[in-house]
Structure 1
Amino acid sequence: MRKAVLFADLDFIDEATDLAFGAGFDVVEKYKLPKRPNPKYFIQQDKLFYIKDRSEIDAVIIFDLLKPRNFINIKKELINKEILDKTLLLLEIFALHAGSKEAKLQIELARMKYEIPILKESYTKAKITEQQGPLGAGTYGVESIIKLYNRRIVKITKDLESLKKFKETMIHTSRNVGIPTVSIVGYTNAGKTTIFNVMTGLSQKVDSTMFTTMSPKRSSISKEGKKVMLVDTVGFIRAIPPQIVDAFFVTLSEAKNSNFLMLVLDSSLEDSIMLEYLRSSIFTLREIGISGKPMLIVLNKIDKIREQEVKSKIEIVENVSKDLYCPIIAVVPVSALKGMNISSLRDEIFKMALG
Structure 2
Amino acid sequence: MNGKVPVILVERRDRGERSLLHELKELALAAGYEVVGVVTQRRPPDPRFNLGAGKVKELAELVRRTGARKVIFFNELKPHQAYNLMKELGVEVMDRFYLILEIFAQRAGSTEAKLQIELARLKRDLSFIREWLRLAKLGELHGFMGGGEYAIDAYYKHVRRRIARIERALAELRTRKEIRWRVRAEEKGLYYVALTGYTGAGKTTLFNRLTGYNGYVDGRPFATLSTKMRRALIRGRPIILSDTVGFIDCLPPQLLDAFYTTLGEVALADLILLVFDVSEPPSEVARKLSASLSTLQSLGVAASRIIAVANKIDLLGNDELEERLRVTEKLGLDPIPISALKGTGLGKLEDRIISSLPRYAVRRIRVSGRGVLRRLYENAYVRRVEVEDGQLVAVVEGKEEWLEAMARRCAAR
In the superposition, the TM-score normalised over structure 2's length comes to 0.79
Q: Which moved more, 1:193-202 or 1:287-296?
A: 287-296
Kept in 2, the 8 Å contact 1:72–1:118? The answer is no
Deviations 1:302-347 (A, max 9, x none): 1111023223333432x2132xxxxx5x411111111212222222
Report the 3-state secondary structure (helix = DSSP H, G, I; strand = E; otherwise coil) of the residue aligned with 1:122.
helix
* 1:332-343 paired onto structure 2 within 5 Å: 332-343=336-347
Deviations 1:23-44 (A, max 9, x none): 1111111111341222211123
Deviation at 1:157, TM superposition (A): 0.6
Q: Which moved more, 1:298-307 or 1:25-34?
A: 25-34
* 1:207-218 paired onto structure 2 within 5 Å: 207-218=218-229
Find the partner of 1:95 among 93, 101, 105: 105
Kept in 1, the 8 Å contact 2:224–2:245? The answer is yes
Deviation at 1:58, TM superposition (A): 1.4
Count residues with an aligned counterpart.
346
* 1:117-266 paired onto structure 2 within 5 Å: 117-127=127-137, 129=139, 131-133=142-144, 138-176=148-186, 177-223=188-234, 225-266=236-277
Deviations 1:169-206 (A, max 9, x none): 12112221211111111100000111001100001111
Instruction: Report the Cα distance in structure 2 between the residues aligned to 1:94 and 1:228, rounded to whole angstroms.
Output: 29
Find out whether 1:295 has 2:298 as its counterpart.
no
Instruction: Report the Cα distance in structure 2 between the residues aligned to 1:302 and 1:220, rounded to whole angstroms.
Output: 26
Root-mean-square deviation over aligned CA pairs: 2.0
Deviation at 1:150, TM superposition (A): 0.9
Deviation at 1:208, TM superposition (A): 2.1
Instruction: Report the Cα distance in structure 1 between the residues aligned to 2:122 and 2:327, rounded to whole angstroms.
Output: 42
- Corresponding residue of 1:353: 357
Deviation at 1:288, TM superposition (A): 2.1
Find the partner of 2:41 among 17, 20, 33: 33
Instruction: Report the Cα distance in structure 1 between the residues aligned to 2:240 and 2:288, rounded to whole angstroms.
Output: 25
Deviation at 1:137, TM superposition (A): 7.7
Q: Which moved more, 1:237-246 or 1:27-36?
A: 27-36
Kept in 2, the 8 Å contact 1:199–1:346? The answer is no
Instruction: Report the Cα distance in structure 1 between the residues aligned to 2:314 and 2:346, rounded to whole angstroms.
Output: 13
- Corresponding residue of 2:19: 11
- Corresponding residue of 2:126: 116
Instruction: Report the Cα distance in structure 1 between the residues aligned to 2:238 and 2:146, rounded to whole angstroms.
Output: 54
Report the 3-state secondary structure (helix = DSSP H, G, I; strand = E; otherwise coil) of the residue aligned with 1:53.
helix
- Corresponding residue of 2:411: none
Find the partner of 2:50 among 42, 46, 64: 42
Gaps of 5+ in 1: 323-327
Instruction: Report the Cα distance in structure 2 between the residues aligned to 1:53 and 1:332, rounded to whole angstroms.
Output: 51
Find the partner of 2:289 among 270, 278, 292: 278
Distance 1:30 1:136, change over 3 A: farther
- Corresponding residue of 1:325: none
Instruction: Report the Cα distance in structure 2 between the residues aligned to 1:59 and 1:136, rounded to whole angstroms.
Output: 25
In the superposition, the TM-score normalised over structure 1's length comes to 0.92
In structure 2, what residue type is equivalent to 1:353?
L
Find the partner of 1:86 among 80, 96, 117: 96
Distance 1:113 1:36, change over 3 A: same
- Corresponding residue of 1:62: 73
In structure 2, what residue type is equivalent to 1:287?
S
In structure 2, what residue type is equivalent to 1:12?
L
Instruction: Report the Cα distance in structure 2 between the residues aligned to 1:55 and 1:223, rounded to whole angstroms.
Output: 54
Deviation at 1:224, TM superposition (A): 5.6
Identity of aligned residues (%): 35
Distance 1:138 1:179, change over 3 A: same
Kept in 1, the 8 Å contact 2:282–2:324? The answer is yes
Distance 1:224 1:285, change over 3 A: closer
- Corresponding residue of 2:365: none
Distance 1:6 1:224, change over 3 A: closer
Kept in 2, the 8 Å contact 1:64–1:85? The answer is yes
Report the 3-state secondary structure (helix = DSSP H, G, I; strand = E; otherwise coil) of the residue aligned with 1:269.
coil
Looking at CA atoms only, which structure, 1 or 2, has the larger radius of gyration?
2
Find the partner of 2:320 among 288, 305, 309: 309
In structure 2, what residue type is equivalent to 1:171?
W
In structure 2, what residue type is equivalent to 1:82?
E
Distance 1:54 1:120, change over 3 A: farther
Distance 1:300 1:113, change over 3 A: same
Kept in 2, the 8 Å contact 1:302–1:310? The answer is yes
Deviations 1:119-161 (A, max 9, x none): 111111222646154x998433211211111111111111111
Deviation at 1:52, TM superposition (A): 5.2
